A and B are shown apart, each in its own frame.
Chain A
Amino acid sequence: MSSGMKKGSEIIIEVLQEEGVDVLFGFPGGSVIPLYDALYDCPIRHILTRHEQGAAHAADGYARVTGKVGVCIATSGPGATNLVTGLANAYMDSVPMVAITGQVPTSMIGNDSFQEADIYGISIPVTKYNYLVKDIHDLGRVLKEAFYLARTGRPGPVLVDVPRDIQVAQIKYKPIKEIYLPSYHPIIKGHPKQIETALKAIKEAERPVAYVGGGIISSGATEELQAFIRTTNIPITNTLLGKGSFPEDHPLALGMLGMHGSRYANYSIYNSDLILALGVRFDDRVAGDVAKFAPKAKVIHVDIDPAEIGKRVNVDIPIVGDVKTVLGQLLAKVKPIERKKWLDQIAHWKKEHPLRYQKEGGLKPQYILECVNNIKNRDVIISTDVGQHQMWAAQYIQTKSARSFISSGGLGTMGYGFPAAIGAQVGCPDKTVILISGDGSFQMNIQELATARCYNIPVKIFIFNNGYLGMVRQWQELFWNKRYSHTHFEFNPEFVKVAEGYEIKGRVVRSTEEVLPAIDAALSVKEPFLLDFRIAPEENVSPMVPPGKGICEILEEC
């Protein structure tokens, strides 16, 4: 090789290193052999998952806990299509990710070649942006842009499809120093006039509520938010993705709002005269009926994505900008405010309508989560799957710091939790990562037990096993006359035995008394561990606002 010449695959590695990538999640195949060949003697760690979907979710989990861009690799065709759910998941939750896919050689594209799929076309609606690299001279620039787009503005996944001939082609490569995207300019600073208007509204409000979401976490705004909330004494409720924005055990914290939010959070929203919406998008699981969400309130909405403002609700004071920067602007001018009457009212609601469950009647999931919540002297990261266990976790785990509760919010991807937990543990090797999953969700990516074992990734797997697709069953119970159509698993494997097959220890937990010792056992080892909790099979998530209903149209304890 003449000096200065680089292969496409080497350019990829070089850009990854420039971007500070220290770990990749991937799965090889014919169209990425050149890239994998370059990885063979490169210092970047590669985690071989057992399915490309696992790689995508692991990169997502890694990104959520570290704040860095998660990277996954797959081959062309089925490898690439297996990433699609992971991309859609990251896109919905605004997670910075770069997916690199192999593609058949450029000369073969369009011929229905072996393992060819138009992943460029397929991934358009599930990525922030995507590329098909047709010229080796574009490769370096494209990759730099991909990382830049993934992590700036409203973060999101970017896919780069690299045909095999581009991976082996050689050019004289000079590192790309500047990014030129003439049509991409995220707005960072809030408009000063809007800031003034917002400050005035905050000063005049008698019953304000802050409603915060994933934007706080992704912009790293927790410090500013906490200072702002403490100064203004505004009670604060968070979305599922907003968990960790503000310590949920603080007196001003109301926990999660919405469909399975606390009554006091929902009452506060409904009765408020000012909603301070920060990095949120008024999702239908939060505001099922927008007309009955906060009918008496003015709305201040801060978001970096102008398209989110006014999408579902009318906004009185829109502020486009990075929420960390905007909170800094507000904080610079805000004066301490006391609001005893409103806080007394909220304290009253909290006392009258706490989260509660029947203690009797089998092993209660809420109790298990209380035990998890009480784990001391460890930095715990919770990763959840999707379903009842996810909502119980959101309710009963009081998240105290950013990037320590990860969950598939927008897409609601069953099978997300386990690979995401693996990615989280890889990103934070010194923390205790606990997966809260269900028997349904866990079986959707159960193959990743091999990944956890292979690299000794010590994720603690807690399966809330009720033999049902519990959330769908709950809806069938409440809204479909208890016609449990295909939500009962007539067969489930013995998860502990499955784990044993993967050389992972575990135990079955059937009673309340066994819970604490089992958690201790799981935490005491530096390796993955599985607990199969046989929970009360027909326990429901409560409270519940039925879909499409107003935030205070809460079902009686269900």
Chain B
Amino acid sequence: MRQVISVLVRNHPGVLSHVAGLFTRRAYNIESIAAGVTERPEVTRITLVVSGDESVLEQVTKQLRKLIDVIGVIDLKYSQSVTRELILMTIYLPAEKRVELIQVANSFGAAIVDISDQTATLEFSGNERRINTLLMALAPFKIKELARTGLIALPLESSFGDSREFLA
């Protein structure tokens, strides 16, 4: 089971160590972690993707809440939240494949942010499903380098639930 957890913490140096340290100390599996300041400069939002069975995930949430710096913990159900990840990838691009790449990029709305004589760098953001689909579509190309930010997420305010996430 995977779960997206959004953690609001007091923004100070060391807070990330406290949160990340919890995962090593208690042997929880962390798939991605993304941190950034919120609309309040004194507060940082850390988005975690965690895997484990239900009891582990419950413990993760409780142990996070116990940290002195943690202001709030929200379990973000996929169906009730909007999730995004940004990826950058540099792929080997022989001249004869340029058109093909541009087609793939256009159909996904991915931006080509750099092109050299042998490579192209793509930028794309989307939910997990869209990112995986893009990666599949790019399978014929050889990847030179890939960077991912890790997932960020916010709860949905609207009641559209799954559909809005699907449209996005």
Contact = CB atoms under 8 A, between A and B. Distances in A.
Interface stretch (B30-38, B68-76, B86-94, B160-168): B68-76
Given A306-B62, A307-B59, A124 B68 contact: no
Given A120-B14, A124-B21, A125-B25, A307 B62 contact: yes
Given A181-B68, A183-B10, A183-B68, A124 B18 contact: yes
A128 B22 CA distance: 12
Contact of B65 (A129, A132, A307): A307
Interface in B65-105: 65-66, 68-72
B65 A184 contact: no
Nearest to B70: A183
B63 interface: yes
Contacts of B58: 310
Interface centre among A132, A306, A307, A310 (most CB of B within 10 A): A307
A106 to B, nearest CB: 12
29 contacts: A121-B17, A124-B17, A124-B21, A125-B21, A125-B24, A128-B68, A129-B68, A181-B68, A182-B10, A182-B71, A183-B9, A183-B10, A183-B68, A183-B70, A183-B71, A183-B72, A184-B68, A305-B66, A306-B62, A306-B65, A306-B66, A307-B59, A307-B62, A307-B63, A307-B65, A307-B66, A310-B58, A310-B59, A311-B59
The 5 closest A-B pairs by CB, nearest first: A307-B62, A183-B71, A129-B68, A125-B25, A124-B21
B55 interface: yes
Contacts of B68: 128-129, 149, 181, 183-184
Contacts of B24: 125
A184 B70 CA distance: 8
Contacts of B66: 305-307
A124 B23 CA distance: 12
Given A149-B68, A183-B70, A184-B68, A310 B55 contact: yes
A555 to B, nearest CB: 30
Interface residues of A, number: 17
B103 to A, nearest CB: 49
A181 B12 CA distance: 14
Contacts of B21: 124-125
Nearest to B58: A310
Interface centre among A124, A129, A182 (most CB of B within 10 A): A124
Interface centre among B58, B68, B71, B72 (most CB of A within 10 A): B68
Interface in B16-53: 17-18, 21, 24-25
Contacts of B71: 182-183
Given A132-B14, A182-B10, A306-B65, 20 more contacts: A121-B17, A124-B18, A124-B21, A125-B24, A125-B25, A129-B68, A181-B68, A182-B71, A183-B9, A183-B10, A183-B68, A183-B71, A183-B72, A184-B68, A305-B66, A306-B66, A307-B59, A307-B65, A310-B55, A310-B58
Nearest to A310: B58
A120 B17 CA distance: 10
B68 to A, nearest CB: 5
Contacts, number: 36
Interface string A177-201: 0000111100000000000000000
A132 B14 CA distance: 9
Nearest to B60: A307
Contacts of B63: 307
Contacts of B69: 183
Nearest to B21: A124
Contacts of B65: 306-307
Nearest to A134: B13
B104 to A, nearest CB: 44
Nearest to A126: B25
Interface string A122-141: 00110011001000000000
Contacts of A120: 14
Contacts of B70: 183
Contacts of B55: 310
A181 B69 CA distance: 9
Nearest to A183: B71
Nearest to A309: B62
Contacts of A311: 59
Contacts of B59: 307, 310-311
Nearest to A307: B62
Nearest to A182: B71
A120 B14 CA distance: 9
Contacts of A183: 9-10, 68-72
Nearest to A184: B68
A317 B65 CA distance: 21
Nearest to A314: B55
Nearest to B62: A307
Interface in B145-166: none
A149 B70 CA distance: 14
B80 to A, nearest CB: 23
A410 to B, nearest CB: 14
A306 B65 CA distance: 9
A184 B24 CA distance: 23
Interface string A310-331: 1100000000000000000000
